[in-house]
Amino acid sequence: MRLKWTLALLGMGLPLTAYAQMQMPQAQPAAPTVAQPLKLPQALPAAQVKDLKTQIDGVLLKQSNSLVTLYKDLHAHPELAFQEKATAAKLAKLMRAAGFTVTEGVGKTGVVAVLKNGEGPMILVRADMDALPMEERTGLPYASKVIADYMGNETPVAHSCGHDVHMAAWIGAARTLAAMKDKWQGTLVFVGQPAEENVSGARAMLDDGFIARFGKPDYGFALHVTPAPTGMILYRNGVTSTNSDSLDLTFHGRGGHGSTPSATIDPVLMAARFTVDVQSVISREKDADAFGVVTIGAIQAGEAGNVIPDEALLRGTIRTQNDQVRTRILDGITRTAKAVAMMAGAREPSLTIRPGGKTVVNDATLTARTVDVFKAAFGLNVQPMPQPMPGSEDYSEFVLAGIPSVYFFIGGYEKSRFEAGIKAGNLPTNHSPEFAPDPEPTISTGASALALAVLNVARPAPEVSAP
């Protein structure tokens, strides 16, 4: 009997009925027409794909224990954005051992590992390295106990987004491709990217001359673990993620004694009012059919319960999928902040909105070709995503630099654990302090999928694919 899964978040968000939709065979929409067709080699026959999958599984089986050990080590020793020095050093050492030529310090802490194998395309494979400023509450024996400086404060650090899985799968794919050099031709460019969580690491690597120094890849691949059953691969043609903007908002009040609020202008009250009132921009100004989110994730004000402080700082995130909605929401945030201050008799607040990750757009032709190979290898475990994820991703910078790419998702929860979490209504998702994917078969699925995606295009003599 086919299980109709429901889940509020797919990694970073899908509707409640998403998994139920995924379990039923669906006709796939035609890929959108591209202005300049992407050049790809001849498609691999299904029988050849299955044979390659068998060979890949054999190579990965030999390194399964070492990849899980690597994952646990990375999980226990997370590092924040642009602080990934130990992480980068570990990855660089492993890639050199696999036969890659490695350059460290690209974009501050990024790693670029290159393996040349005859004439053929240049293929980028990216993994993100940084962790989140939050406390882990998984109870795992290898749970993070790391404390680091974050914006001037000592803060717990955890791999609660799954980047440790990405790195382990990345190493597994690199080793596998190095061991199967007789099956491909071209140049591999494996990128260990810093600072994905603050959506600035990809840009830093590009600004550090990534393309000038290493060349412009012909194709690119990246993955993300998500709270779906292990073995599943989820994809989307075209728009795959959202735009993100961050906001820093400071309300300026007049401090004083907590017993005499009439002699003060209370910035905490302004912060609370704004946090509630700004949601009316979403519920009353944004088209109900359009995606848009404003979340206030941090409020910092005062030190003592009997003292009204002078200021209150709010930090938040804005997520959208088109420019019109983004403009409307940003205008609404600005108006609401000014109105809250005006109502309190305070001076105008200080508001800074910083653009972040841009939309990741999967190349239609490359996606169709990659999905064909995934389906031949993984069967019905390969399913489309009904809509883009609400989360953002700065892999978009590589796409915008002109690298046709496929960004896809892998399930991270063993099936019974997934089903139990769904039934109980408490399945931890990415960025939850309890998020902890099952190392296997999550890592091997990711490594196998990345290796197959590369083998699918790593051959010379391209043809022009039909639009």
Where in the sequence numbering do the catalytic residues fall?
128, 197
List beta partners, residue 149. 154
Q: Report yes or no: 59 and 98 within 8 Å, Cβ to Cβ.
A: no
Q: Report yes or no: 199 and 241 within 8 Å, Cβ to Cβ.
A: no
Q: Which helix (H) or strand (E) holds 189?
A: strand 186-193
DSSP state, 282? I
3-state secondary structure labels for all residues of 287-335: CCCCCEEEEEEEEECCCCCCEECCEEEEEEEEEECCHHHHHHHHHHHHH
SS3 43: coil
d(CA 104, CA 113): 9
Which of 118, 119, 153 has the alpha carbon at shortest distance from 135?
153
d(CA 395, CA 160): 19
DSSP state, 379? G
**Cα–Cα distances in Å, from 383 out to 52, 62, 136, 312, 374?**
21, 28, 31, 45, 10
What is the Cα gyration radius of the chain?
Answer: 23
Secondary structure (DSSP) of 228-256: EETT-EEE-SEE-S-EEEEEEEEEE-B-E
